Amino acid sequence: MLRLALSLLLALLPGLPARAGDSPPEGPACVVLLHGLARSDASLLVLEETLALQGYRVVNSDYDSAADTIEGLAVSSLPPVIAQCDDAPEVHFVTHSMGGILLRQWMRENELPRLGRTVMLAPPNHGSEIVDTMADLAAFEWINGPAGAQLGTDGLPGQLGPVWPGVGIIAGTRSLNPVWSTVLPGADDGKVSVASTRVEGMDDHIEVGATHTFMMNQPLVLVQVLRFLETGAFDPELTLAEAVEVLASG
């Protein structure tokens, strides 16, 4: 009888207010940007502004790519920028070149509960033959540091395994350096072959007529990034004129 009375009493009581910590984060999704080898956050400023205009909160990392190994950079560089997205409902990533390898190394040993989608621009997922050719030169290590030396075809990228769900990859097919392109097999962007950008587990892959160094500023690339973050897929029918129109309309 006492148990029945308590049950009836609890049924008549108003619901208790939820604690603040029980509610999912609100507000815009956060996008973390990771630049490539021997670059800085300035290389992704156009992309940062494009994403901000679409309502995303953007965290553009300025890690020093020459300061450590890829493993060391992942430990020192990723947690501080991810922490800036702590109150966001979803955390996306857009990476360029080695930035994608840095993220893969971090994801290999960590989980992100609110992980959204990831777009990798020209990631050397199987290394680069240019690094195979240049890594023994003193100037290469001085400019690129220990992380750069890990990006050969027998280096760290090939040891990282499949990527997580929600990864899309954009590969460039134009080169600013025909000499380096002779070292790379098949189509390439002047530094990384299209074949090397592919990786097991990716959701989508698209080729764009862009160079490795400047692809993050190309209108088609910018809009394809937006498409993938929104839908989880690239738009193979998108034209340059349409991309420019999207960007012009804000």
Strand order in the sheet with 30-34: 57-60, 30-34, 91-96, 115-121, 167-172, 204-208
Task: Determine the pLDDT at residue 25.
Answer: 65
pLDDT in tens, 33-53: 999 998 999 999 999 999 999
Residue 203: band (very low, low, confident or very high) from pLDDT cuts 50, 70, 90: very high
198: number of Cβ within 10 Å: 14
Q: Does 6 have pLDDT greater than 80? A: no
Q: What angle do CA 161, 64, 185 make, to 5 degrees?
A: 45
Domain 27-248 has CATH 3.40.50.1820: yes
- What is the reported pLDDT for 123? 98
How far is residue 212's CA from residue 209's CA, in Å, rounded to a whole number?
A: 10
Q: Is residue 165 pLDDT above 60, yes or no?
A: yes
Residues in the chain: 250
pLDDT at 23: 58
Residue 12 scores a pLDDT above 60: no
Say which residue, 3 or 240, is predicted with more confidence: 240
Quick check: helix, strand or coil at residue 7?
Answer: helix
How far is 57 from 18, CA to CA, in rounded Å? 27
- Name the average pLDDT for the chain: 89
Confidence label for 178 from pLDDT (cuts 50, 70 and 90): confident
Residue where the block lists tokens 């020209």: 122
Cβ neighbours of 235 (radius 10 Å): 16
- Flag the least confident range among 24-28, 34-38, 85-89, 126-130: 24-28
| Domain chopping of the chain, boundaries | 27-248
Spatial distance between the Cα atoms of 250 and 43, rounded to a whole number of angstroms: 21
Joined tokens for residue 229: 């973050």
Say which DSSP state 21 is in: G
Q: State the DSSP H helix or E strand holding residue 146, giving kind and residue range, or none if neither.
A: helix 138-149
Q: Which pLDDT belongs to residue 24?
A: 57
At residue 22, does pLDDT exceed 60? no
3-state DSSP helix/strand/coil percent for the chain, to nearest 5? Answer: 45, 15, 45
Q: Residue 133: is its pLDDT beyond 80? A: yes
Which pLDDT belongs to residue 26? 74
Residue 5 pLDDT level (bands cut at 50, 70, 90): very low
Supply the pLDDT for residue 10. Answer: 36
